[in-house]
Each structure stands twice: as structure tokens, then as C-alpha cells.
Amino acid sequence: MFFKNLKIVRVGTRTSEHCTSKIWLLKRCQNARSFGITNFQKHQQGLNNPVQTLHSSHRYHTGKCKSPLLISCVPNFPKHRTFASAASLSAASMGQVNTDYGIFAKMADSAPVHLAEKVLMSIQEVTGLPWWLNIMCTTIALRTAVTLPLSVYQMHVLGKVEKLQPEIQNLAKELRYEVAVYGKQHGWSDKVAKFHFHKNMKRLISELYVRDNCHPFKASLIMWIQIPMWIFVSLALRNFSYNTSGSSTDELVHKQLQNGGALWFPDLTMPDSTWILPVFLGSINLLLVEMFALRSMELSRFQKYLTNFVRGISILMIPIAASVPSSMALYWASSSLVGLVHNLFLRSPAVRRLFRIPHTKSDSDTPYTDLLAAFVAKYIKRK
């Protein structure tokens, strides 16, 4: 009806009707602004009367001011307004605040997280182990069954890529000569010659990767499996520690976790106040980063930036692990420790021969001695 009245301005006496429409629109805007401010003031009074506030919000959405042109006249409230009921206010006064919302709540209630919960409960029911040992055994089983084969596959791919480097260097020399000769014949500038060299070199390297089935992107497959698994198990332990679902099963697991710790962390639902687990986690992660940085191969600029970034993440994980339940911190520390053991295990020449990992020039017959010597030379003798 409002838009129909505006169309009347185009016929008849334009001046009078147009002024009348402007006055009518101004009054509607003023009424909407007054109504919005009143409703906002009621909302700011601490929600002393939730029922009255709910009625006010109902009038706000179903009032007479329905024109979309008046949006700018109304205070900027959220699109979907939610008001606390008496029950939620009582829970808030008792300190029970539900913080699950948005994407995080969907992830915590997703099918992979529930699957991780079932795996943890099933292993505990079958073995009867205390929860601290159950978490560690589950971590060892998952890392060994899932990520260890992926680590072996990653080393296969990286070994093939490293063995291709001499062939790539020879192709680069031949291509550089051909581009120089062809560029002189056709009068190419240095910029054009570099463009054709890099374009054809990229094509030749891709053909070599396809020929030997060793594209470097395949080496990152472990990351796309390990990180989601780490997140899902962490959220499953978080759900148990906070009893987010409120079901009888989760409540039983929650009570078991309260008495399922050991040593300095008897309650797995509470953070580690001693910071032993968080500091241990950070130390293991930093050691893994340094083992990567101490390789005999020279790191590229991107790899150096990535190494420093992972160092920062490892340090940042220490206060994060100190603020989450001990069950999560124990899982994170156990996962990092298993990763360190796997890394050292796959450096053994006998193990590499067992899994038929390609032998490269960077491989050492005494990897552990060389690693210790490199660590001493970089961090101890420098001082």
C-alpha cells in the first residue's frame, strides 16, 4: 500500500501530493525511530522481566512500520534477535553459560566427532583401562594405523622427487641453451627469454612428476588426514570433559574422567595447573621442528618462513594447552610424542630398506649420530 501511494505522485497535482507523501514518510520514520529507541531502552534494563521483553520484541517484528525503506531509521539490532528466558537467566546466574554456537557447535556435534567418541568409549569398555591410559593407547593406535603408513608414502614421494633433481638440472641446462639460441634468432629480450624458459621448464618438470608418479602435492596427503583426525578426537574429549550433550552416557564418561587421571592431573576434566603437560607438548613440537630444520638439505626461503611459523605455533600451543581440560592436553602431548618416535623410527636405514623407501644422497648410514652432531653444532657450540 505504501508503494502504491508513492506512485500517485506522478499524476495529478505533483507539488501538493508529493509534499504530502514526504510529510507522511517523515512521520513514519519518526514513529519508527521512537519505537526502536523505546524498545532498545527496555532491552538495556537488564531483562528484569523476560516475559515483558518477549512481548516487546514481538511488537517490534509485527508492528505497523513494515516498509523496507525504514531500515535506516530503526536502531541497528541483530537480524535474528534472541532473548533469554527465565531458565537461561537462572543458569547464567549459577555460572552455567552455554558457549557452543556457530561453526564450532556444528563441528562438536558432527558425525566424525561422534565416531571418535564411540571409538574412545569402545576401547575403554573392552580394555577396562583408566582413562589416562586409554587416551594414550588410543592415540598410539590411531597414529600407528593411520598416519604411519601415510608417513611412509610421503617419504616414498619425497625420495623420488629428490632423485629427479639431477635430471631436472640437466634439462634446465639444455633448455637454457635452446632458449638463448632461439632468442637470438628471433630477437627476444631477456624478459621474453626468461618467460619462455620458466614456462617450458615448468612443463618439463610436470611431465617428470607424472612419469614417476611423484607429484610433491601427494606428500601433503598426511596433513589432510592427520589434522582433521586431531581436531575430531580433541572435540570428542572436550565433549566428554564438559558433558555438553547432557546424556546419561556422556554424564557417566564425565564422572569417570573426573577420577581417571594420574600423578599430578587426577581430574581429566580440569586444566593442568602445574603446566607440565603444556610445556612438555611445546618442547616435543619444537624438537620436531628443529629435526626438520637440521636436515642436510638447504631450506628454501619459503621453507624457512614456514619453519618459523610452525615454531610460533608450537610456542602458542603451550598456553592453549594450559587452558583446556587435561584430557585434551594429554592427547595432544601423546600425539606429538608418537609423531617424534615415528620420525626417528623412519630415519633408520634398516626401516627404510624394509619399507623400500628410495635411497637418496641425503640419506645417512648413521642418521642419529649425524642428527646429534648437527644439534650440538647449532645450539651448543655456538654459545
Q: Flag whether pLDDT at 11 surpasses 90.
A: no
The residue assigned the cell 610421503 is 154
pLDDT of 207 reads 92
pLDDT of 383 reads 53
Q: Sorting pLDDT into bands at 50, 70 and 90, what band is 376? A: confident
Residue-level length of the chain: 383
- All three cell numbers of 91, joined, read 543458569
Q: Flag whether pLDDT at 139 surpasses 90.
A: yes
Q: Flag whether pLDDT at 16 surpasses 60.
A: no
Q: Lowest-confidence range among 84-93, 207-216, 275-284, 298-307? A: 84-93
Burial class (CB in 10 A: 0-12, 13-18, 19+), 65: middle
Q: Rounded CA gap, 293 and 308, in Å?
A: 10
Q: Sorting pLDDT into bands at 50, 70 and 90, what band is 58? A: very low
Q: Lowest-confidence range among 90-99, 198-207, 308-317, 331-340? A: 90-99
Mean pLDDT of 40-60: 43
pLDDT of 281 reads 94
pLDDT digits (tens, 9 = 90+) for 251-260: 888 888 888 8
pLDDT of 101 reads 52
pLDDT of 106 reads 79
User: CA 368: distance to chain centroid?
Assistant: 33
Q: Rounded CA gap, 230 and 218, in Å?
A: 20
Q: Flag whether pLDDT at 238 surpasses 60.
A: yes
Q: Which residues pair with 262 in a beta bridge?
A: 265
Q: Which of 64-78, 92-106, 228-242 ranks highest by mean pLDDT?
A: 228-242
Cα–Cα distances in angstroms (integers) from residue 166 to residues 161, 204, 205, 239, in the given order: 10, 14, 12, 52
Q: Rounded CA gap, 131 and 120, in Å?
A: 9
Q: Flag whether pLDDT at 75 surpasses 90.
A: no
pLDDT of 299 reads 64
The residue assigned the cell 505504501 is 2
Percentage with pLDDT > 70 across the chain: 70
Q: Rounded CA gap, 143 and 138, in Å?
A: 8
Q: Sorting pLDDT into bands at 50, 70 and 90, what band is 277? A: very high
* Contact status, residue 351 vs residue 345, Cβ threshold 8 Å: yes
Q: Flag whether pLDDT at 64 surpasses 60.
A: no
Mean pLDDT of 156-174: 91
Q: Flag whether pLDDT at 98 surpasses 70.
A: no
- Per the model's pLDDT, the better-predicted residue between 161 and 10 turns out to be 161
pLDDT of 202 reads 92
Burial class (CB in 10 A: 0-12, 13-18, 19+), 279: middle
Q: Rounded CA gap, 367 and 237, in Å?
A: 37
pLDDT digits (tens, 9 = 90+) for 319-369: 999 999 999 999 999 999 999 999 999 989 999 999 988 888 878 888 888
pLDDT of 43 reads 44
pLDDT of 317 reads 92
- All three cell numbers of 375, joined, read 644439534
Q: Sorting pLDDT into bands at 50, 70 and 90, what band is 232? A: very high
Q: Lowest-confidence range among 52-61, 158-167, 241-250, 320-329? A: 52-61
Map out the domains of the chain as residue ranges. Answer: 2-84, 108-164+221-379, 165-213
Q: Sorting pLDDT into bands at 50, 70 and 90, what band is 382? A: low
pLDDT of 110 reads 84
pLDDT of 160 reads 92
Q: pTM for this structure?
A: 0.68
